[in-house]
Structure 1
Amino acid sequence: MKTYNQTNFFKHTFCEFTQIDSFNFPVNTNYKSKSESMYFYTKEGVYRKSNHWGRVANCRWKLIFIIIYHKQNAIINLVAFFNSIYFLLKTYNQTNFFKHTFCEFQQVDDFEFPENTNYKSKSESMYFYTEEGVYRKSNHWGRVANCRWKIIANKNYKNQQIAIGFAKWNDFYPINSTEKNFFIEVNFEEKTAKIKPIKEKKSKYLFSFSEAQKRIKQITHLFKDDKWASYFNEDIESLRMNIISQFINTEKSLQEIKRSFK
């Protein structure tokens, strides 16, 4: 999850503020918007004084209020406070899920597309939207236009075989963003590395999609080529595991890590 503070909390975030009645704004408040909303920052969070809540510019800030609050009584400025933001990137739906996104669809075998499906692409892929997500029927996965859509397939799935996959709207992640929302999963037995989205708080080192892609290429080279290991006095399998394990859990470059083993 991204860490928020006074420099970025107002950028495409969702938050629930709790109303308070015991705070007096200082004369020199930190910030006052064009709409007269006032903000005061602390180490723990931010106080906001305003007469409008809900959609605030590009954000969605709800107010958990103590007293009964009526929209008609908008003259009243309510003071609220938050110390955490629950924001996972942008919200995706049928209007934008196909714009530069990463997603892992889960293969399903028990869904029949209605005759009037929502959308059919030039390549004959079919889409059906629900409130929870989207079904996709296609014979090509991976690189799809400007997106990267994988299918978590059943054992009998073969490449270029028509398959139906389902993904929830919150399974989509932007790939043209600098947000660090991906980790790298390595299988040392199969000598493979995959980019995985972080779906909940875990002790994983995170990268942006482009950063993860670059590291995947370097890891693939470490698996396929053994020449680089001739400069080290260590068993190649052990060396490879130690170097890659560090590489996916730090922002250090591969060269820095290699040097530390000499």
Structure 2
Amino acid sequence: MTKLNYHKQNFFRNTYCVFKAVDFQSVKDKRPHFTSKSGSKYYYTNEGVYRVSAHWGRAATCRWRLQTDDSTTQNGAKVGFAKWTSFYKDNEVEKLYFIQKSEFTHTYEYFHKNEPAYNSTYILRTAGDTRKVLRQLKTIATETKWAKYIPHDDLEDLRNHYINGLITSNKTLPELRRSYNA
């Protein structure tokens, strides 16, 4: 399967990308090449695109996330840069996504199967299935009431069993419950 080549004429149609946060100085004296209806500004280079925006995540038909370990904003907006090679196709029907813990946010996030971090221990899912599992992971990682009726001696061990099971298998929560201490 050949990878699509993305550029300024096609990167904004049905793509997934993780932009890297950069300083506002990167675009300080530049004029945007395009401004969207929602106010996001785009600056094109030969290597990629800068995006200045107050909203990240779902952008029109795209899934664009900003990878940042600080909170530098200007009027609520942040600047991200992505190389053209960092864009991947996105749709709702193909199994394109896997889940892993982000080294930046320390939460579970979805990533595209064409990213270098992918390996076959992760289960690929459609976008909808990925959203469902992410909701389950958030509950397991942050709450405790779900574990109330599951016999266990160590909550962290139980959490790890569920989290690893959801990320590396197609097992459902009831199946994971049955396999715990089996």
Normalising TM by the smaller chain, what interval?
A: 0.7 to 0.9
Aligned length: 174
**1:258 counterpart residue number:** 177
Is 1:236 equivalent to 2:155 in the alignment?
yes
Is the Cα contact below 8 Å between 1:177 and 1:208 reproduced in 2?
yes
Is the Cα contact below 8 Å between 1:100 and 1:176 reproduced in 2?
yes
Distance 1:215 1:119, change over 3 A: same
**1:249 counterpart residue number:** 168
Q: Distance in 2 between matches of 1:237 and 1:154?
A: 26
- Specify which of 195, 202, 214 is matched with residue 119 of structure 2: 202
Distance 1:171 1:141, change over 3 A: same
Q: Distance in 2 between matches of 1:228 and 1:144?
A: 33
Equivalent residue of 1:102, what SS? strand
Relative CO higher for 1 or 2, CA cutoff 8 Å, sep ≥ 6? 2
Is the Cα contact below 8 Å between 2:21 and 2:66 reproduced in 1?
yes
Is the Cα contact below 8 Å between 2:90 and 2:96 reproduced in 1?
no
**Greater helix percent: which structure?**
2
**2:6 counterpart residue number:** 92
Matches within 5 A, 1:1-262: 13=1, 87-88=2-3, 90-109=4-23, 110-112=25-27, 116-157=31-72, 161-186=76-101, 192-198=107-113, 199-200=115-116, 202-205=119-122, 206-234=124-152, 235-261=154-180
Q: Which of these two proteins has the greater Rg computed from alpha carbons?
A: 1
Q: Distance in 2 between matches of 1:143 and 1:192?
A: 18
Q: Distance in 2 between matches of 1:156 and 1:220?
A: 22
- Which structure 2 residue ranges, 5 or more long, are not aligned? none
**Distance apart, 1:126 and its partner CA:** 1.0
**Greater strand percent: which structure?**
1
RMSD (Å) for aligned C-alpha atoms: 2.6
**1:56 counterpart residue number:** none
Q: Distance in 2 between matches of 1:118 and 1:159?
A: 19
Q: Percent identity?
A: 36
Is the Cα contact below 8 Å between 2:150 and 2:177 reproduced in 1?
no
- Which structure 1 residue ranges, 5 or more long, are not aligned? 1-12, 14-86
